Amino acid sequence: MMEEDMKEILYTKEEVAARIRAMGEQLTKDYAGELPMVVGVLRGSFIFMADLVRSIQTPLELDFVAASSYGSWAVSTGKVEMRLDLEKEIMGRHVLLVEDILDTGRTLSKLVEELKKRHPASLKLCVLLDKPERRVTEIEADYVGFTVPDEFVVGCGLDFNQKYRQLPYIGILKPSIYE
């Protein structure tokens, strides 16, 4: 079982579900009457995004972008590019960018820079996890599910070599798995 590969479970399935529901309630209030464009960053955000939008009670539209970064998680080169673009224009729209984790901040900094050029009415960031200790760019999320320590986590969309994304909890992977 995949659970054997975990050093520790940081947040259980129930804790994650409850936190996402609470975030959805907050977003429902904050975006009431605004028809936000909720933009997920593929692939890591897809599970969080699916749970999040089902907890938002006000009308919204969905789209996705993808970013590619060169180098591995451990040895990031810092070069990030948008690899899949939005289908629709976002000028004048309220955009909520949804990502699995804000780590060094390079990915979201680049995406925010690209999207701001298109003059959205507003652009906010919503992440399931925030790992502030690793930040190298000046960026903070407007909505954060959980703040996590500087450890490699998986589950709820977060992978290691494309695996473990389907785990319904957030776990710290045993270093022996990736070393």
Three-state DSSP at 83 gives: strand
Nearest to Mg ion of 44, 145 (CB atom) = 44
Pairing of strands 170-173, 153-154: antiparallel
**73 interacts with ligand 5GP by CB under 6 A:** yes
- Alpha carbon distance, N-terminus to C-terminus of the chain: 19
> Which two tokens mark 24?
């959805």
Nearest to ligand 5GP of 94, 106 (CB atom) = 106
Three-state DSSP at 129 gives: strand
- Cα separation, 84 vs 69, in Å, equals 13
Task: Considering only the stretches 17-25, 38-46, 58-66, 132-140, report the one whose residues sit in contact with Mg ion under the rule CB under 5 A.
Answer: 38-46
**44 interacts with Mg ion by CB under 5 A:** yes
Indicate which residue of 51, 103, 150, 159 is catalytic: 103
Peptide bond before 43: cis, by omega within 30 degrees of 0?
Answer: yes
Residue 103 annotated among the catalytic residues of the structure = yes
- Residue from the set 36, 94, 103, 156 that interacts with ligand 5GP by CB under 6 A: 103
**102 interacts with ligand 5GP by CB under 6 A:** yes
Residues that bind Mg ion (CB under 5 A): 44
Residues that bind ligand 5GP (CB under 6 A): 44, 73, 99-107, 152-154, 158-160
